[in-house]
Structure 1
């Protein structure tokens, strides 16, 4: 079961599904004064930035 969990964690990281969690961890670590983006705001901002500045991605 532990191996399956490790594989799932790895796949989430590869696919970028853990990006919001990483954002929150970074936000807390850097001590921003204002509130963090909601998950919906985060993903909208991320997609908008990718649309205006395309980088290598599979899809």
Structure 2
């Protein structure tokens, strides 16, 4: 089963679509985040939810001499 960690960005009203795109692009390129949801409220606020896979290290069986 895949597990994710989430990051929520709340952008104030008046934030342009271009600015929102730049913020999401920077998080994707440099942080490895992917877009999960974008909600645009009637008052102009944006709520962007990004997610990233959680990678868990597994123990390996060591058979040696």
TM-score (norm 2): 0.29
Q: Name the structure where strand makes up a greater proportion of residues.
A: 2
Larger radius of gyration: 2
As a proportion of its length, which structure holds more helix? 1
Asked which structure has the greater RCO (Cα within 8 Å, sep 6+), the reply is: 2
Under a length normalisation based on structure 1, what TM-score does the superposition of the two structures give? 0.32
